[in-house]
Amino acid sequence: MRFVFYTHSVVSDWNHGNAHFQRGIMRELIARGHHAFALEPADGWSRSNLMTEQGSFAIERFRKDFPELVPVTYDASFNHEAWLADADVVIVHEWTDADIVARIGRAKLNGGNFTLLFHDTHHRAVSAAQWISALSLEYYDGVLVFGEALRESYLRAGWGGRVFTWHEAADERLFKPSPDVDRESDLVWVGNWGDDERSAEIQEFLVEPARALSLSGTVHGVRYPAQARAALADAGLNFQGWLANADVPKVFAQHRVTVHIPRRPYREQLAGIPTIRMFEALACGIPLISAPWPDVEGLFRPGQDFLCARDGAEMRQRLREVLNDAGLAKALAAAGLETIFVRHTCRHRVNELFDILAACGNRSAIDSTTAKEAAA
């Protein structure tokens, strides 16, 4: 089958974690013998910022790390209809410009012989509902959302007739344990500063515990203001900026523990949606401690796959326990890894995608699902 993904960027993951999952899904599809292409705007903010900060090195890194992926940039003169003509499945991410979202819908209406899905992996459906409500989704066959709470928001608002929960997951080809790497430091956090959506939480659950326990550690991410970088340095944490996603498994392996700090809109309005770093960290076999996050969908086994901390004081206690108890750290790493590889890899999500495509009437997906059931 021929899949076309409209992405904000597959080349750049600068402040753009959605790229991680999209890359993993495309890689899994290609490994199964399908064709997958990524279309992205030539002037997208993530790609532009990455080029400004890292230069052409970052593009070369992408090509080296993900040689099987085929990115295609488009501008105002791009012939979208020509690219859609031979597609079997088109998946349009919600960062796509509203005019292009509508244009692709019209291509479907005007005889497009493809299954058309809209893919939402952000909190704007609750934090900026007017933006989503203005999109033209009436000709889309379905909507993919990365959590049940978001699905319910779409259904309540009437945005799309078929809405499917499709959680993010770890690319198991990339994210896996590195047992031969020495753990040289205590604490690592890979996460962006964002739009002040978790600045207080970063201070409470990362900076202050590291300072109180005199931990060695590393922080990777972008958009950290000067005062945040100063606070990290004062706590003894080494801020190292942007990190190519292909390097993350090695960085996790070099540290003894990591933390999960969800953004406030997810914790307060979209319960049950973790950051993709949680999937990726557990897939790498590093013990993880999470700031408050309600796992209402039962994605994990809290207390077994990871530890929970209700506040900064409890985060200090949990970090102390994991760093001083090798048996606990090993058990957490093993349990988290088990849950990922049983439930939360891109392989699982592609299986789910084919079930969704079949539910939307895609003939090839129906035939594939029928053959799979017959062989079971």
How many beta carbons lie within 10 A of that of residue 309, not counting itself?
22
Question: How far is 110 from 117, CA to CA, in rounded Å?
Answer: 16
pLDDT digits (tens, 9 = 90+) for 149-198: 999 999 988 988 899 999 999 999 999 999 999 999 999 999 999 777 89
SS3 370: helix
Q: Give 260-324 as a DSSP string.
A: E---HHHHHHSTT---HHHHHHHHTT--EEESS---TT--S-BTTTBEE-SSHHHHHHHHHHHHH
* Residue 218 amino acid letter: T
How many beta carbons lie within 10 A of that of residue 6, not counting itself?
27
Question: How confident is residue 375, by pLDDT bands cut at 50, 70 and 90?
Answer: low
Asked if the model's pLDDT at residue 202 lies above 70, the reply is yes
pLDDT digits (tens, 9 = 90+) for 292-318: 999 999 999 999 999 999 999 999 999
Q: What are the structural domains, with CATH classification, of the chain?
A: 2-169+345-375 (3.40.50.2000), 185-343 (3.40.50.2000)
pLDDT above 90 as % of the chain? 87
Asked if the model's pLDDT at residue 96 lies above 60, the reply is yes
Give me the pLDDT at residue 268, please: 82
pLDDT digits (tens, 9 = 90+) for 10-43: 999 999 999 999 999 999 999 999 999 999 999 9
SS3 173: coil
How many beta carbons lie within 10 A of that of residue 71, not counting itself?
20
Give me the pLDDT at residue 23, please: 98
Mean pLDDT of 232-249: 97
pLDDT digits (tens, 9 = 90+) for 208-220: 999 999 999 999 9
Q: Which of 318, 306, 312 is nearest to 203 (CA)?
A: 312
Query: What is the per-residue burial (b if ≥16 Cβ within 10 Å, else e) of 222-245?
Result: bebeeebeebbeebbbebeebbbb
Give me the pLDDT at residue 195, please: 74
